[in-house]
Structures are given as C-alpha cells and as structure tokens.
Amino acid sequence: MGDGSLILLGFTLILSLAYSYSNGLNDAANALAAVISTRALTPFTAVLLGGAMNLAGALTGTAVAKTIGKGIVNPELMTQTAVLAAIVAAVTWVVIASRIGSPVSVSHSLVAGVLGAGVAVAGVSGVNGTVVTKVLLALAFSPLLGFVFAFVLMVALYWTFRHMSLPRVNLIFNKLQILSAALLSYTHGKNDAQNAVGIMALGWAVYYSHDVTVSPWMQLTAGLAIGIGTAMGGWRVIRTLGTKITRLEPASGFVANMTAAAVIEAASNIGLPVSTTHTASSAIMGVGATRGLAAISLGVVRGIFVAWLVTYPFCFALGYGFTKVFEGLT
C-alpha cells in the first residue's frame, strides 16, 4: 500500500472519532434529556454519568460494528476513498443538525452514507440487500416499538400507583430514573458507538487487505469520543427532547428511558443498528400520549420527523458525491 492510502486511512480513523464526538453532541444527549428535565440530576452530573456508561457500552459487544463494517456493502469492493466519503457524509449531516438543535439519527446518517459510497464504487450489485433490508426495518420499527411499549407501560404504572399521591410517586421514581438514564446511556454506547467502530474496522481491513475485525482500541477511542461530545455540546438536543415534546415527570421519564433502553439492547444483541434518537423520542411521545394528544407539542414532533425524512436522501447523496470527488482527486 502507498503513502496515499495510509493518509486516507488516517483521515478515516480521525473522522470516525469525529463521528463519535458528533454522536455525543446529538444522539447521546437523548439518554440524558429526561433525567435533566425532571431535575433528577444536575446537568454536570448527568453528562459524567452518560459519558461513563456510553464508554462501558462501547466496550461490550461487536455485533453492530460487524454489520456496519461488512454487512451493508461487500468489503472487498470498497476503497479507502469510499470509506472516507461515508464517514464524511455522516459527520457533515450530524454536525449541521446539532447546530440547529434537531435530534436526527446518526445511525441513519451513517447507513445512508455507507450505502451512497458503496453504490458509487461497487454499484447496486455490491450492496447486501438482505442485510440492508433488515437494518432499514429495524430503524423503522424501533420508534414504533418505543412509542407503543412506553404508552402501555405508562398506563400500567398509572393504574398500579393510582392510590398513591403524586409527590410520593415522584419521590420513588426520582431515584429510579437515574438508573434508567444510566441503562439508556449504556445501550446507546453498545449500539451507536459501534457504528464508528464498524467504519474504523472497515477502513483498517481495506488498507491491510484482510477480514473486518474489531480491536479493543477502536471500541475504547470511540466510547471516549462519545462521552466528550456529550459533555461539550449536547444541550440543544437535550432541551428539545426534555422540555419541548411533552412535560415529563420522574415516573414518565423513567418509563421513556427504560422502554428505549430495552428496544436498543435487543437490537444490539442481534447486530442491528437502530436510532437512539428515534427510539427515545418516540418513547417520550408514548408517555405523553397517555395524557392525550394535547399533551404533545405536535409542531416540535413535526420538525423532528422532517429531519428524519431528510436524513436518508441527503446522506446517501453526500456519500455518493463525496466518493466521486475523492476518487477523482486520488
């Protein structure tokens, strides 16, 4: 391999960490929105908790990383420029969304970027249609499951504690909500941090011409980058999810977090990248819907859905376009 390929690999690894950092800016903040908005934790304590649990999640499991690294596009057909273009596309979109406070899916961004880059160098035939279908179905159904399960669990909780005063219920769930935030941060690291790890492993495999394998240093650096990103700038997204969609109490915050964590954990164990943003947002909508549609800010929800819908074509086009540009330059 020439020096040019090594330089491209270096850029890919650096941008993968930038992707993890931007993940902290946008997606990782979702796990902390409820616990901060209900004042169960101070923002400073919450981001420390979120960063530590994201790192712990990033160090456990590699199934999602392998799906990203070798499941979507045949690694043998990928080039260094295509891998670099995919991560550039995802980082570009997530940073733009974070700047305007729109909680988009970094998982959607990366999957679409990889698809666009893969099609640019390998054509449609190089794409693993079966895996892509499973990934897209998981990304589509995770918010639905989050909404339904949160709604049902919230109704069950209301019935269980119907004879207890609201201050007493809030006192109980104020502490439990901290646990739920920790679990959601952990599952986020186990799923979303693996996206960056998958790109790092793919770039490494393309350069050294071997199978896609995940190394511990990839998991460690990606997890640290997410934690730093959360601490440095996730507050716009936290404010949108924690205060603008619906009013949250400790009990409803606990239900939203636990529901999202359960869905994401299940997906991680079978190697499917899902969106923490989609799942957490839908779970918050689900608990809010138990008080009627009037309890949900439909204007904010509409804006979030528009951002979700734009992500796929925008990142696919970026991945495809960046690949053509980079190929031309090299």
Alpha-carbon gap, residue 208 to 214, rounded angstroms? 14
User: When comparing pLDDT for 82 and 309, which is higher?
Assistant: 82
User: Residues 301-316: what's their mean pLDDT?
Assistant: 77
- On the question of pLDDT at 3 being above 70, the answer is no
pLDDT 10s digits, 186-198 = 998 888 888 889 9
Alpha-carbon gap, residue 207 to 261, rounded angstroms? 35
pLDDT > 90 fraction of the chain, expressed in percent and rounded = 26
User: Residue 237 has what pLDDT?
Assistant: 56
User: Residue 240 has what pLDDT?
Assistant: 54
- On the question of pLDDT at 23 being above 70, the answer is yes
pLDDT 10s digits, 79-124 = 899 999 999 998 888 778 767 766 677 788 888 999 999 999 989 9
User: Residues 49-74: what's their mean pLDDT?
Assistant: 87
pLDDT band per the 50, 70, 90 thresholds, residue 212: confident
pLDDT 10s digits, 267-298 = 999 888 888 777 887 888 888 888 776 666 66
- Rounded to whole angstroms, what are the CA distances from 295 to 29, 87, 233, 247, 277? 22, 38, 28, 7, 20
C-alpha torsion sign, points 21, 22, 23, 25: positive
pLDDT > 70 fraction of the chain, expressed in percent and rounded = 85
pLDDT 10s digits, 233-243 = 655 555 555 55
User: Residues 297-324: what's their mean pLDDT?
Assistant: 80
Alpha-carbon gap, residue 285 to 300, rounded angstroms? 11
Print the SS3 string covering the chain.
CCHHHHHHHHHHHHHHHHHHHHHHHHCCCHHHHHHHHCCCCCHHHHHHHHHHHHHHHHCCCCHHHHHHHHHCECHHHCCHHHHHHHHHHHHHHHHHHHHCCCCCCHHHHHHHHHHHHHHHHHCHHHECHHHHHHHHHHHHHHHHHHHHHHHHHHHHHHHHCCCCCHHHHHHHHHHHHHHHHHHHHHHHHHHCHHHHHHHHHHHHHHHHCCCCCCCHHHHHHHHHHHHHHHHHHCHHHHHHHHHHCECCCHHHHHHHHHHHHHHHHHHHHCCCCCCHHHHHHHHHHHHHHCCCHHHECHHHHHHHHHHHHHHHHHHHHHHHHHHHHHHHHC
Q: So where are the chain's domains?
A: 3-329
